[in-house]
Each structure stands twice: as structure tokens, then as C-alpha cells.
Amino acid sequence: MQSNGRKIRVLVVDDSAVMRKLISNCLERDNEIEVVATAIDGDFALSKIEQLKPDVVTLDVDMPRMDGITALGHIVAKHDIPVVMLSSLTARGAALTMRALEKGAVDFICKPAGPSRVGEMAEELISKIKGASRGKIVASNNRYSDRRVKRGKAASSALGTKAHKVVAIGASSGGPHALRYLLPRIPADLNACLLIVQHMPESFTSMLARWLDEICELEVKEASEGDVITPGKALIAPACAHMTVRRVRSGCEVALEHGAVVNGHMPSVDVLFRSIAAEYGAQATGVIMTGMGSDGAQGLGEIKKAGGRTFAQDKESCSVFGMPRVAIEKGFVDETVPLTEMASRLIAAVGRVSPVEESHAISR
């Protein structure tokens, strides 16, 4: 419920009558949310926005007549209303969702495989609606979409240098926008490799990696089995696999494990954090960012116990303050940091590759 005691007024836009009804029923289970109307496509949605001035819009990505991407462009241009996209679990759906986030959508949620599974997304959808209504997401709003980094010596100078330090980042709801804000501010000569777990469905993590890679000095890619952990690189755990690190003769590399879910997730932030705590000890840095639930809290505690540094994104800049809140309450966080200051704190914590190390890496 909003600070004035009024319910959060939501417009549901979907071309499927069944989905409109099911989504509306999900939202109205919460006494802080009111569905004020539904619309069958973007054109009708724009008309109802003018009439009703909702607080949040849920917008299907793929619709006939006026699709979600086109409608989103009009909403962002003309109305100060947060939009949560609903996407299909397909490669096309993932690509469209990344476009929507770039155009200004504050978050997204995947549609369930069938009407009988709508209940599974209810908690996540309600949480994201509430987060969107509070304006807690630091959205890019096209801020970086026209920026393209030309990779040359600056981006590749650290490659070939073993990463003696690692920064592990865990995020969930609101994470794509938070990462889109954070990663472009990390220099390619950071003296650590970034390992990232972002809770996302299959097909979405590879799209997220490409989306981020376009705007970063760092090389950003979806992690593969055996990827060498080197400075100047950010590796995102693929959906449906836990990401860990293992020691090899040349240093450390990524290992992917297809096992049971942990804390309801695969990949799990806890699995990554525990692994880097064991392998890197005091040279590990853990960052817990916006997200629902508690995944990552215990692993962050293990990093702290091993002598590593631990950071949490602050409440004011989180879309959903679940994961950071649990870690803070357990006493596992060294510093609580606004998203706007996170990059500078990480650079200060791990340093940058020295000119000596750079020249040695290049000569090899």
C-alpha cells in the first residue's frame, strides 16, 4: 500500500482473456493492490492509461495490433508510470524483454507454462508490482543504450593475468537494471574477475550477458564450463546450472553443476558464494543486491568468516529489499552501499591491475 494509504492501482495488458483474468485474480489476492482495468493490446492500454492514471502497468511483450515494445515506448515518453513486462519463456521472449528493459521497463516476469501454474508466479509478481510502485528501481531509461565500448588495449590488457581476487555478485528481482547501472562503471583493469548469479529463466542469461557486454569495458559473457577466471572479465551463471570455482594448475576456472535447486534456485547465489569463500578466502568479495527471498545470505556469511569483504545494496536503491535485508539482519554485511556508490566501493576494495602486471600480461 502506498504511503497515503491508497491501494496500488494496476492496469493489466494482455491479448489473452484467460491470462488477463488469471493475472488480475493473482494481484487482487493482495489487499494492497487493486486492478483498475484490463486491456487487450497496447492501443487500448494507452487509452485506459489516459482515463485511469494507474500506478503500475503490467504489459505483455508480444501482442497483435500494438505490441508491448511499441506501447512501452509511448508510455515512457508520455507518462510517468512504471511498467512491468510479462514475457514468454522463449529466446524471442528473452530478446524482446531485454529490448523492453532498455527502453525503460522497470522489471519483468515470465509467464507460467500454463494457466494451472499461474499461482507459482503470484508472489514474485506482487513483489515486483510493489517495488515498481515505490520507484525503487534505478532504471537506465536508455541512459546507456547508445554507448558502445570499443575494445582495445584497455579492455584486453589484463587478460592472461591470473585473478588473485574475485568479486561475486548475487541478484534477483530488479537485478538486470541494477547490473546495467553497476557494470558500465567498472573499469576493464579491475584487479578481479566478476562472477555473477542473476536469478533468470533459461534463454535469458545469455541475452542478459550480451545486453551488458555492449555497454561495458569489461568483457561480459555467459559462463561456460572451464572458463578461466581472469581480471577484466564478468561471467554470468547460465540458467539451470550452479556456478562454482575450482583450483587448477594455472589458477581457478569455472565449474558448472547441474544438481538440485538450492533456496529454490538454480543457479543459487549461496552455492557461488560458498565456493569462492573456500577457494579465495580473504581475497574474495561478496555483493548481495536487490532480490526477493534469502538466497546468498548464508554464503555471504561464509565469505565474511573466511576474511573476505562483504557488501549489500541499500534499501533505498533496491527494487526488492529481501536478499540484502536477510544478510544484513544476520550480521554478514560489512558495508551497506547505495547502488550509485557500489562501483567506487568495489574498485577501492580490490584495486586495479598495476602497469607492471599489465605489461607482463601483454608480453606473454
Q: What is the pLDDT of residues 81-111, one digit of tens each?
A: 999 999 887 778 888 899 998 888 988 998 8
| Cis peptide leading into residue 184 (ω within 30°) | no
Distance between CA atoms of 166 and 36, rounded to whole angstroms?
A: 47
pTM score, whole prediction: 0.85
What mean pLDDT, rounded, does the chain reach? 88
CB 51 within 8 A of CB 25: no
CB 300 within 8 A of CB 277: no
CB 212 within 8 A of CB 171: no
For residue 297, give the 3-state DSSP assignment.
helix
CB 173 within 8 A of CB 124: yes
62 pLDDT exceeds 90?
no
For residue 53, give the 3-state DSSP assignment.
coil
Residue with cell 561480459: 220
Give pLDDT, residue 272. Answer: 98
342 pLDDT exceeds 90?
yes
User: What is the torsion angle, in degrees rounded to the nearest 10, for the CA atoms of residue 311, residue 317, residue 320 and residue 321?
Assistant: 40
74-78, 122-126, 213-217, 276-280: the lowest-pLDDT one: 122-126
> What does residue 171 show for φ and ψ, rounded to 5 degrees?
-150, 160
Q: Greater confidence, 287 or 173?
A: 287
Q: Greater confidence, 84 or 140?
A: 84
The alpha carbon dihedral of 37, 40, 42, 44 has a sign of: negative
Give pLDDT, residue 218. Answer: 95
Residue with cell 514474485: 124
Q: Produce one character per residue of 52-76: b if its CB has 16 or more CB atoms within 10 Å, e if not.
A: eebbbbbbbbbbeebbbbbbbeebb
Give pLDDT, residue 162. Answer: 63
User: What is the DSSP annotation of 209-245?
Assistant: HHHHHTT-SSEEEE--TT-B--TTEEEEPPTTSEEEE
User: What is the DSSP annotation of 103-164?
Assistant: HT--EEEEPPSSGGGTHHHHHHHHHHHHHHHHT-----TTSSTT--PPPSHHHHTTTTS--S
Which residues are tagged catalytic? 172, 199, 295
Cell of 286: 561478496
Give pLDDT, residue 115. Answer: 63
For each of the domains in the chain, give its residue range(s) and CATH number, in order of start: 8-134 (3.40.50.2300), 153-363 (3.40.50.180)
Give pLDDT, residue 65. Answer: 86
Q: What angle do CA 316, 322, 326 make, to 5 degrees?
A: 105
Burial (CB count <10 Å: 0-12, 13-18, 19+), residue 347: middle
Cell of 126: 506482487
119 pLDDT exceeds 90?
no
